[in-house]
Chains A and B, each alone.
Chain A
Amino acid sequence: MVFTGCRVTQPVRRFGTTGCRASGIARPEPSTHPSRMTVSYENSKAVFDGIKAAGIRSVSALPETWLGLLLQRAEDDPEVDLIQVAKEEEAVGIAAGAYFAGEPHILLMQNHGFFGAMNGIISLAQLYSVPLCMLIAVRGHWGEPYPWHTRGGIVTEGLLQALNIPYHHARDPALVAKEIAEAYTLSQSSLSPVALLLTRDLMEV
């Protein structure tokens, strides 16, 4: 069966009963169907390794398809403290608490979750000069086959610009670790939200 809710666009079988929980993280089989792309196993690992290489062990997230393999790694890694939220705006508060505690923290969300977190970003992070390092999966952009993602994909960059949030597109797995460290560093030095946009080129195969 295929669940076609707006934040889940992949066949459920990818994380099926023979998957990661019992025997490590399953490598999804590449799909040949043009609108049934598969999340990149290697590049999800590159992003996760980049988060750890930046010295970050505290993660808040709301699961979404492109972040699935990444979050499984975070969940399975005893060094990483993962809090899954019910709505992305909660993660802004959790990130502020981690920041006050001195704990390097990263937020993982989809662009539609970024929209839902916006008042917290403005009226907590920006108002109080609290840094946020956000990794945002940008759905609904070039090559998007699913209509329900498209409106959000079209407005994402405009909203980031309207909020004066510096952003950068991560496309190359060889560069993503460096880009994560740079995003984190800029968030801390500018005391501001910063967004690294995870693109289709990076997250799908």
Chain B
Amino acid sequence: MERVQCLELIYPEIEDKLVVTIMGACAQELYDLGHRENFFYLQHAMGLASSIGLGLANHLPHEKVIVLDGDGSALMNLGTFTTLARYRPRNLLHIIFDNGSLLSTGGFESHTTSGVTDLAAIARGAGIEHAVDVDSPMAFGEAFVEAMERDDLGVIVARVDAVGPDNYGMDFALPENAFRFKRCVQERRAATGWTAPPMPGHTGAA
């Protein structure tokens, strides 16, 4: 199974979800399917995509938040599983594409390559009740649909091949992605009747 197959499967379903993806191949494949204003690409700071997802989900109970993570990034922030389990945001789905490789930095084997380390078992051990491991597009699609219908925190570890896109590049600067994503999130929140709080000390004068 290739990661891009999984992304193609869920692409129509994440049109109205807040999506945070990790760097490199995963970000590029999602972008190449077609950028949307509700997509945030974390092109560095490995491990923190799931933490961003928690910060979003915690304050936006009306939204579904999808985190697209990788084995290399997840291994850099294993503590996130315990934090997610403790606060259990019911509107967060954490998808980890496990290709057993640090693909974007030269394809070095990650710790999951050997088959000894089981990320879904780590998530369950951390206290996340719904953590599954899938290795076919059919199983991935079913797990995704189940997770969307379930009102609870979920983890899907998808075993994928260590392949990525041939070309990399996006037509916006990184802060521009952050600004536009924030605007998108807050406009959706405003539609629920929320108004942004004023900044302390702001008097209106320059």
Contact = CB atoms under 8 A, between A and B. Distances in A.
Physical interaction between A and B: yes
Interface stretch (B28-36, B127-135, B179-187): B179-187
B55 A127 contact: no
Given A89-B48, A102-B186, A181-B200, A83 B54 contact: yes
Nearest to B42: A124
A86 B83 contact: yes
A8 to B, nearest CB: 18
Interface string A33-66: 0000000000000000000001100101000000
Contacts of B53: 97
Interface residues of A, number: 42
A179 B55 CA distance: 25
A36 to B, nearest CB: 31
A93 interface: yes
A128 B20 CA distance: 14
Most buried by A among B59, B177, B202: B59
Contact of A55 (B48, B80, B200): B200
A130 interface: yes
Contacts of B49: 93
Given A92-B51, A124-B48, A101 B79 contact: no
B197 A93 contact: no
Interface of A: 54-55, 58, 60, 81, 83-87, 89-105, 119-120, 123-124, 127-130, 181-182, 184-185, 188-189, 191
24 contacts: A55-B198, A58-B59, A84-B86, A86-B79, A86-B80, A92-B51, A93-B45, A93-B47, A93-B54, A94-B52, A94-B55, A95-B55, A99-B182, A100-B56, A102-B59, A102-B186, A102-B197, A120-B45, A130-B178, A181-B201, A182-B201, A184-B199, A185-B200, A191-B175
